[in-house]
Every structure is written in structure tokens, then in C-alpha cells.
Chains A and B, each alone.
Chain A
Amino acid sequence: MVAVLELRDVSKRYGDVPALSGCTFQVQPGRLTGFVGPNGAGKTTAMRVILGLITQDAGAVSWRGHPVSAADRRRFGYMPEERGLYPKMRVVDQLVFLGRLSGLPAAAAARQADRWLDALGLGERKASRLDDLSHGNQQRVQLAAALVHAPELLVLDEPFSGLDPLAMDSMSALLTDIARAGAAVLFSSHQLDVVEHLCEDVVVINAGHAVLSGDLGKIRDATADRYLEVTVTGDPDRLLCLTGATVVGHDGDHVRLRVPRTVDPVGLLDRLRGDVVRFSYEPPSLSELFRAAVAGEAAKVSEVSGVAC
């Protein structure tokens, strides 16, 4: 599949502070892309560059193969991390207002506003003022505001923050539907399990550049390590000295090991024959990838500083 959005070597500084340095990644249509990274890694800055809210110092953003234009950006939808709506304005009026600003004629904007409010279960609250709604409902109105003009790219900053489990489920289902309908969806989150569960693609950003990006399944498969989780009856100690394995977790008779991809899991299972209650063999989870990538960056930084010393 061809990427619709591409960032190439994008850099941005705020005064002396680099926010992005050589950030490169792509976003595919019809898929959910999770955008993860530690606080201050540059996620929000990257999103703002995509939306044209700020101009990068260097690098390029392209949309469908050409440099992104203001007209292209009008086909983008954006939901900032907090608020982003008028607290005292009626919900339906806000959506019509933003829909019209995105280029919809008044009647179409009104139709779309109604449609999205109904779809998000806010049909009864159309005439309410925003600050009369609960946090979860305000978040839904924000999402409706990002969707009202049927964007081709949806950029969401922390759409899951502060939502209860049920609201998270409905937000997940909705984002999946939007991607299935053909839109490219890029959203940031600190909830790695949600991203892992929901997204086909991920971008891991650290210190201003993407340290991992692409199809999550392929990234996981391509890693050199595999994780073994074994629960045994009897003495777990012999698990701790399996050749080539590193113990990463040990809790009673339950052990989690990291082994090179080249180690044959069936052979391992053979050596433990008889005592195994549970056994799993899988590539690293997103949170393990994330930690490795971000820690690797930190290690590189410390190496560099070591040389400097």
C-alpha cells in the first residue's frame, strides 16, 4: 500500500530546544497508526507540523506524493489533546461552525453535525452547551468536530486520555470504522496496550526522531529476540539456566525468558517435557519494543557522552 502522508527529515527547534530532529515516517490510508513516545519526544510538535500549525525548520511533509498544501490540509481532521472547543457554545453550533470553516456549505455542515452527534450517541445533547457535558461526552464532541468534514487524514492527540473503559471501547470501535472507511488515522497515546491491540502500524518517536515505524506485526517479527513464557510444576530453577536464554521475569513457578530468534522453541519444549503447564512463544510486545528502542537511544546517548568524557 502507498503511504498518503510522509514526513522526511523534519526538524524543528524552539529557541535552543530541539523538538524534532530528522523525523521520518509514513502514514497509510485505511489503517490506524499509533504514535507513541515518551513525554517531550516531539509527538505534538510532529502533529502540528503535519497540520501546518507550525512550520518546520528543515525537512518535508508530503501528501499523496506532493508537498502538502493548505488545500490538502483542509481535508485533514484534528483533535488536540485538551478541549479545543468553545465551552459556552451549543454543541451542534460548534460542529456546524467548524464544518463550514472546513469548506462545507451551511446545509451540509448541519447535516453532518447531526449525523455525527447521532452516531456518537449525543443526539439528545445537540442543544446543550459544551460545558454542561461530562468529560467523556466532551471528548466525543471533539471527535465529531474532527470528523464533521469527512477528512482523509485524521490526527488525534491522546484521544483515549481520561476515558473510562467503556468509552475507550466505543472510541476504539469508532476509529477502526473510520480507518476501514478509507481514512488514514494517526493518533498518539501513552497506553501501549491499546495501541498494540488497535493499530496495524506504529511510529515510536524518541528525542525528536522516529526510532521505529511501520507495520507493527512486521516490526515484531523482524526483531532478533523472542519471548518465552513458561509455567512449570516442580523446581523452576532449571529454567533459569537454559542455554542462550535471558531471564527477564521470574515469579514463583512462572518464568519469562528472552531467547534469540534462532533458538528452536520446539527443542526447548522438549527439554522441559513433562513439567510444563503453560508455554508461550512470541515476538516482543509493543511495550518491550518501546522500552528497548527508547532505552537504546538512552544508551547511545550515554555512550556518546562516555566518549566525550
Chain B
Amino acid sequence: MWRAELPEGWRRIWIVALREIRERGGSRAYRISTVLAVLLVVAVILIPSLIRESTTYHVGFTGAVPAGTVAELEIQAGAVGHQLQTSRYAALGQGERALRDKKIDVLLVDGSRLEWRTGSDSTLTAVIANALQAVHIRQQADRLGISVGQLAQLLVPVTLTSRTIGAAHTADKDANTVGFIAVGLLYVAISFYAGFVLTGVVQEKANRVAEVLLARMPAREVLAGKVLGIGAVGLGQFALIAMAAAVTVQLMNHADAPSIPANVLGWTLLWFILGYLFYSVLYAALGATTSRIEDAQSAIAPITGLMLLSYLGVIYAEQNPDAALTVVLSYFPPTAPIVMTYRVAVHAAPSWQVITTALVTAVAIWALMRIAGRIYSGALLRFGGRIPLRDLLRSSS
């Protein structure tokens, strides 16, 4: 068995991680929160489009209507995911009354003028204009003796590709939306799962499990097992929610939903792992200096501040994609996970920069683990109020 070949230390880390996965992943709270989160995400995606799909445009006609207009209108409305109902009115007055009585949304007069109740709807205008244009082209083609096949050839759409040169231009609204969604998810997920590590550490200290564990293994192994186990549980939940979101979007096949490029998804996942590791190790070290969860919350307040700084960094980066501060924030390990995730989503960071910042963060995590491991092991067996960090670093060095 491969597990038997693991070095002793890794074997113990694996056992601690496995306990976290079993106890947390198997808990009712975890199952309920997963189901709720999945439902919430699916609902957030589904509900707006359900509401939108139920909208049916009511179009009234009066006067002359070119042949084929109604059929073409239905095609055009269908293309943007809407339904269409039409009514014919013998006189302009009747049509306008129907408009005023909200029986119809718009009245098409003589196939050339639109009358609205209070204001125009840009989507409906475009649907009607496209339909009329199509009918017109067909009529003209017919008159000029162009066959259906020739017409189709004439109307072959040109292929238009686009490419961004240079690093930072965030004109793309969809990319910006994706960026903010990714950053928001990351922020919540990192705080949530690193918070698990914090409470776990404080509880183990309070009920003296830490003592029993440390009599069996070094503190850094307990720390690693805990962080990895909870990380796996978190990543599992995160992946499940992301999968539910992807499947929902796929099933709806909705044109309006912003598509999420695979590389953005991949980097977001990687930055989640890096950000989670960075913050959970910090939380664990600071959590170990307290014996009560209330004290732990205030112990981590400066770290929560760093998270907030990351978010502010994103807002700054949105406005100043090329500024030196934006680049600095994407290299600074506490802010890198969130700021870089945004910059990747809006295509504002060249690949080499993403890779180097990830490496810098990974090195920072490694260094942090050494320092935090020291604080953690020094603090776990000291009870009472909060222990000053300076004491711990000095006493264990």
C-alpha cells in the first residue's frame, strides 16, 4: 500500500488531515451548508433568467404590414430568448387605446413608425428593426431576382476576431463582472475556511486535545494536517458549488450569462489554494495564542484588515490597472491572491507576472509556516490570557 511507504511525519499529517475531512465533511452542518450554498448559487443563476424568460412582448399593428413581418418578428424575439404576441388593430385610435390600456407594449404603425406608452425599450426596438430589415431585404432580393441561395451567400456574416495588445485595458464589462464575482467568492471562501482552522485550533487548545496530540507528534505536523484537511474539505465544497454553477449555466445555455474563460477558473482555484494556505496558517498561529474564541477574533483583527486591504486593492486596480501600486499589491503576499485573481479575470496581468507573483506567494507561505509553526507550538501549552507574540518568538528561537 502506498500509505505504508509514507515517511512517518507525512503519515501522521495524513491521519490528522483525514480526521478533519471525516469529521467536518461528514458533519450535518457541512452537508446542510453545502446543499444550501449549491441551491443559492443555482437560484442566483436561474431566477433572473426565469423572470426574463417569462417576459412576453405584446406588439400591436395598425395600417399596412409587410408580408412575413409577424413570422420574422417571432424569429428575432426567439433569438434573444423572448416570446411574442401580436394583435392587429383596424384603426390607429384602437391601437393607441390598447397601448394606453397596457394591452400592448408597442404599436407598429404602417410598418415604419413605433409608438410607445412612456418610453422605448431598446431590445424590443432592435427586435422589430431587425425583423423589418430582414423582410425588406427579402422583398428587394425578390424584386431583383436574387434566389434564396444567392441571398444566403450575400448575407454570410463576416468573421470578426478581437485581440488585446499590451497589458492593461479593462474595457471588457463582462470580464470585469467575472473578476468581481471571482474576487467576492475568493474573499468569502478564504475567510470561511481559514475561520474553520482558527476555531479548530482554539477548540483543540481549550479542550486540551492539543496536549494529547503534541505528546504524539510535532506541532508543525498537527498544523500541516489541520490546514490541509480543512483545505481539502473547503476545496471540495468550493468545487461542488462551482460545478453546480457551471452545469446550471450549461443547461440554460443562456446568451446573456458572461462566459468564464478556463484560464480564469484555473487561476482562481490556484489563488484560492494559495490565499487559503497563507491566511489559515496565520489564523492558526494567532488562534493558538488565545484560549477562547472571543479572544481569537480580536487576535486576528489585523489579519482581517489585510483581507479588507486586498478588496480595496481590487477597487483601486479597477480604476488604475497600470499603476505601480496595483503591481505592488499583486506582489505583496497578503493581497496577492485577491488582487491577482481580479487582474487575471480582466486580462490585466501578463502571464509571467501571474506566475512570478504565485511563486512569491508560495515562498511567503513556506516562510510563514516556519514562523507560524513556532508560534503555534510555543503557544499551545500556555493558557490564560493572550500571549504576546514577542515572547513566543523569543522563547522558541
A-side residues, CB < 8 A to B, are: 14-15, 48, 51-54, 70, 73-74, 76, 78, 80-89, 93, 97-98, 100-103, 105, 145
Q: Is the CB of A53 within 8 A of B381?
A: yes
Q: Which residues of A contact B15 (CB under 8 A)?
A: 97, 100-101
Q: Which residues of A contact B208 (CB under 8 A)?
A: 80-84
**Distance of A97 Cα from B216 Cα, bound (Å):** 11
Q: Is the CB of A76 within 8 A of B215?
A: yes
- B127 CB within 8 Å of chain A: no
Q: Which residue of B lies closest to A89 (CB)?
A: B23
**Distance of A14 Cα from B217 Cα, bound (Å):** 23
From B12, B16, B211, give the contact of A80 (CB < 8 A): B211
Q: Which residues of A contact B19 (CB under 8 A)?
A: 97
B137: min CB distance to chain A, Å: 71
Q: Which residues of B contact A93 (CB under 8 A)?
A: 22
Tell me the B180-223 residues at the A interface (CB within 8 Å).
207-209, 211-218
Q: Which residues of B contact A103 (CB under 8 A)?
A: 8
Interface of A, helix, strand, loop or mixed by DSSP: loop
B128: min CB distance to chain A, Å: 64
**Distance of A87 Cα from B302 Cα, bound (Å):** 31
| Known pairs A53-B215, A53-B381, A84-B209 / 15 extra A-B pairs, C-beta < 8 Å | A48-B381, A51-B215, A74-B216, A80-B211, A80-B212, A82-B208, A83-B207, A84-B207, A86-B23, A88-B23, A97-B19, A98-B212, A98-B216, A101-B15, A105-B4
Q: Is the CB of A87 within 8 A of B212?
A: no
Q: Is the CB of B207 within 8 A of A78?
A: no
**Distance of A82 Cα from B212 Cα, bound (Å):** 11
A108: min CB distance to chain B, Å: 13
**Distance of A73 Cα from B212 Cα, bound (Å):** 12
A56: min CB distance to chain B, Å: 13
Q: Which residues of A contact B22 (CB under 8 A)?
A: 93
Q: Is the CB of A101 within 8 A of B216?
A: yes
Q: Which residue of B lies closest to A48 (CB)?
A: B381
> 7 nearest interchain CB pairs?
A78-B215, A83-B207, A84-B208, A84-B212, A51-B215, A101-B216, A80-B211
B-side residues, CB < 8 A to A, are: 4, 8, 12, 15-16, 19, 22-23, 207-209, 211-218, 381-382, 391
Q: Which residues of B contact A100 (CB under 8 A)?
A: 15
A54: min CB distance to chain B, Å: 6
**Distance of A222 Cα from B369 Cα, bound (Å):** 55
B213: min CB distance to chain A, Å: 7
Q: Which residues of B contact A53 (CB under 8 A)?
A: 211, 214-215, 381
Q: Which residues of A contact B211 (CB under 8 A)?
A: 48, 53, 78, 80, 84
Q: Which residue of B lies closest to A76 (CB)?
A: B215
Q: Is the CB of A101 within 8 A of B16?
A: yes
Q: Which residues of A contact B207 (CB under 8 A)?
A: 83-87
A304: min CB distance to chain B, Å: 29
From A54, A84, A89, give the contact of B381 (CB < 8 A): A54
Known A48-B381, A54-B381, A101-B12: A83·B209 in contact at CB below 8 Å: yes
**Distance of A147 Cα from B8 Cα, bound (Å):** 20
Q: Is the CB of A73 within 8 A of B209?
A: no
**Distance of A13 Cα from B311 Cα, bound (Å):** 44
From A14, A70, A101, give the contact of B213 (CB < 8 A): A101
Most buried by A among B4, B19, B214, B381: B19
Q: Is the CB of A86 within 8 A of B209?
A: yes
Q: Is the CB of B216 within 8 A of A102?
A: yes
Q: Which residue of B lies closest to A109 (CB)?
A: B15
**Distance of A53 Cα from B213 Cα, bound (Å):** 10
**Distance of A51 Cα from B217 Cα, bound (Å):** 11
Q: Which residues of B contact A54 (CB under 8 A)?
A: 381
Q: Is the CB of A85 within 8 A of B215?
A: no
Q: Which residues of B contact A82 (CB under 8 A)?
A: 208
Q: Which residue of B lies closest to A50 (CB)?
A: B215
**Distance of A66 Cα from B253 Cα, bound (Å):** 71
A99: min CB distance to chain B, Å: 10
Q: Which residue of A lies closest to B204 (CB)?
A: A86
**Distance of A26 Cα from B45 Cα, bound (Å):** 70
- Sample (9) of A-B pairs whose CB atoms are under 8 Å apart: A53-B214, A54-B381, A78-B215, A81-B208, A87-B207, A88-B23, A93-B22, A101-B213, A145-B212
B130: min CB distance to chain A, Å: 62
**Distance of A145 Cα from B23 Cα, bound (Å):** 18
**Distance of A78 Cα from B215 Cα, bound (Å):** 7
Q: Which residue of A lies closest to B222 (CB)?
A: A101
Most buried by A among B12, B207, B216, B391: B216
A150: min CB distance to chain B, Å: 14
Q: Which residues of B contact A80 (CB under 8 A)?
A: 208, 211-212
Q: Which residue of B lies closest to A70 (CB)?
A: B218
Q: Which residue of B lies closest to A157 (CB)?
A: B211
Q: Which residues of A contact B218 (CB under 8 A)?
A: 70
Q: Which residues of B contact A74 (CB under 8 A)?
A: 216
Q: Which residues of B contact A76 (CB under 8 A)?
A: 215
Q: Which residues of B contact A101 (CB under 8 A)?
A: 12, 15-16, 213, 216-217
B226: min CB distance to chain A, Å: 13
Q: Is the CB of A73 within 8 A of B215?
A: yes
A89: min CB distance to chain B, Å: 6
**Distance of A220 Cα from B205 Cα, bound (Å):** 41
Q: Is the CB of B215 within 8 A of A52?
A: yes
**Distance of A54 Cα from B380 Cα, bound (Å):** 10
B395: min CB distance to chain A, Å: 9
Q: Which residue of B lies closest to A74 (CB)?
A: B216
Q: Which residues of B contact A73 (CB under 8 A)?
A: 215
B214: min CB distance to chain A, Å: 5
**Distance of A245 Cα from B15 Cα, bound (Å):** 65
Q: Which residue of A lies closest to B218 (CB)?
A: A70
A5: min CB distance to chain B, Å: 15
**Distance of A88 Cα from B29 Cα, bound (Å):** 13
Q: Which residues of A contact B4 (CB under 8 A)?
A: 105
**Distance of A78 Cα from B381 Cα, bound (Å):** 15
Q: Which residue of A lies closest to B12 (CB)?
A: A101
**Distance of A145 Cα from B215 Cα, bound (Å):** 12
Q: Which residues of A contact B215 (CB under 8 A)?
A: 51-53, 73, 76, 78
